[in-house]
Structure 1
Amino acid sequence: MSSYGKCIKYSLIVINTAICVSGLVMLIAGAVTQSKITDQKMARTIGGYSLPAGSVLCIIFGIFVFLLGVLGAFATIKGRQGLLNLYAGIMSLIFLIQFITGAVALGVKNSSKFDSYVEKVFAHEIKINSSHPAERDFYQNYFKCCGWNGVGDYALPNNTILAVESCCIEKDCNVTQINQLHPNPCNSKIIGASRSIIEVAGTLLLVFAFFNLTSIVLSIILSRQIRAGYQYQ
């Protein structure tokens, strides 16, 4: 095999080793998240059961990516043209999914309707009669905020305040005293955090997409070399 062919071969082995490692990382991350979903605070997020579903998908996708990396490495080491073509085909599908999902995520993040979408998901739950109080309290404690639009969200018809303990600046405060409650509203903090998460996720998807594109191109080149009759050893 020429030096060019050997370079392609070893590059593919390195890339597929990295793919195997990334699959294991996703698998472990999903498994750890699943192990921590033990109470109402982690059992679901406001607006749905996205955390458990996401961790399960992470586990499944991690296993799939790991096996795909093993397939690519095996096909490369053994010089199996058919397996290389199969690998390139599957990886092409993953590339399209990653690229489209990443582009859409970044597009949604920059959409003028993003703030209203996040508000629709969260605002109706961050109030005193929330149907998911554990999640409401988690967000208010984490972001040190009170109410979607502020403490006024906990105002009673007689203009007095009756907040919840997660609004307290100090533990066990008087929830009727505004000066003992977090003055900041939750809307800007939750919207900002949501935008940052989507931006990071979308960017990582695009980075991995082009990383996978490299493996596709190299596997196609190597497959053609094998078909052309190059000595493979």
Structure 2
Amino acid sequence: METSMKCVKYLLFAFNLLFALSGLLLIITGGVVQGAYSEYLDFLGDSFFNTPVFLSVVGCIIFFVAFFGCCGAIKENQCMTLTFGILLGIIFLMEIGAGIAAYQLKGQMNVLIEKNMEKGMKNYKQPGYEGVTKTWDIIQREMRCCGAQEFRDWGNTTFSEKTNVPDSCCLSDIVDCGKSVLTENDSKAAMKIHLGGCFETFSTQIQENVAVLGGVGIGIGFMQFLGMVSAFLLARALKKEYETV
């Protein structure tokens, strides 16, 4: 019994080290994703950022719980070990929920992004919509694209006057390089601007990152499930030991 309890004890201690690292991983992952896409808030909406923020919060909680678990394992305290197991169970359910929510969001992203892109184009360069204008310029420069589906989408906006595209569409970022582009055929336009739309590239990139977020949450959740089982086994072993004393 004593040898078995020691094995569970050291196994739990090892799990706690992994938990601390997983908490750090969650904090970093959530922070990086939120920071990297904060400039695209007008396209993504608040729902996209809920998952990385939630994972970062869970990561902070895991740090505290891992410390609690280490104390319980080292001191062989049944109450602390049992509490640790219960807390892990709660965190496990939270992370599985976050993972499922991320995958559900992945299926909705196409509609959400396309809707926000089209809405943003209509408000481009309009007073009070500086954030939308900045977002469109950033995405068109970084992804070398123009418009949502194609560059001629800009012809349906107030900004274009049916002839212009933003300078951020251009192959070389020169002032007024997008003027009168919509009056030219595709071959001539291709000599000045990027013809392809931004929607497909941007949407694919976002969905891949949402899938990564969901996978991280579920993967760490599974590892914590094993730690929860170890905590309950140790608590049970400690209870039996105290009952025989």
Coarse TM-score class (shorter-chain normalised)? 0.7 to 0.9
Aligned to 1:205: 217
> Whole-Å Cα distance in 2 between the matches of residues 152 and 20 of structure 1?
51
Aligned to 2:60: 63
Aligned to 1:186: 198
Question: How far did 1:15 drift?
Answer: 1.3
Aligned to 2:186: none
Distance 1:121-1:74 versus aligned 2 partners, 3 A rule:
farther
Aligned to 1:219: 231
Q: 1:86 aligns with which of 80, 83, 86?
A: 83
| 1:10-159 pair list within 5 angstroms | 10-27=10-27, 42=38, 45-47=41-43, 48=45, 60-109=57-106, 111=107, 114-126=109-121, 128-129=124-125, 131=129, 132-155=132-155
> Whole-Å Cα distance in 2 between the matches of residues 150 and 95 of structure 1?
44
Q: RMSD between aligned alpha carbons?
A: 3.2
Aligned to 2:173: 171
Deviates more, 1:51-60 or 1:5-14: 51-60
Structure 1 letter corresponding to 2:215: T
> Whole-Å Cα distance in 1 between the matches of residues 91 and 208 of structure 2?
24
> Whole-Å Cα distance in 2 between the matches of residues 117 and 32 of structure 1?
22
Which structure shows the bigger proportion of residues in helix conformation? 2
The runs of 5 or more residues in structure 1 that have no matched partner are: none
Distance 1:117-1:50 versus aligned 2 partners, 3 A rule:
closer
Distance 1:33-1:154 versus aligned 2 partners, 3 A rule:
closer
Distance 1:27-1:107 versus aligned 2 partners, 3 A rule:
closer
Q: Which has the larger radius of gyration?
A: 2
> Whole-Å Cα distance in 2 between the matches of residues 24 and 10 of structure 1?
22
Question: How far did 1:136 drift?
Answer: 1.6
Determine if contact 1:44/1:50 at 8 Å carries over to the other structure. Answer: no
Give the TM-score normalised by the residue count of structure 2: 0.77
User: Helix, strand or coil for the counterpart of 1:155?
Assistant: helix
Question: How far did 1:21 drift?
Answer: 2.4
Determine if contact 2:65/2:84 at 8 Å carries over to the other structure. Answer: yes
Task: Count residues with an aligned counterpart.
Answer: 225
Determine if contact 1:144/1:182 at 8 Å carries over to the other structure. Answer: yes
| 1:161-197 deviation digits (Å, cap 9, x = unpaired) | 3111221112216112332111110111121112111
Tell me the percent identity: 22
> Whole-Å Cα distance in 2 between the matches of residues 29 and 213 of structure 1?
21
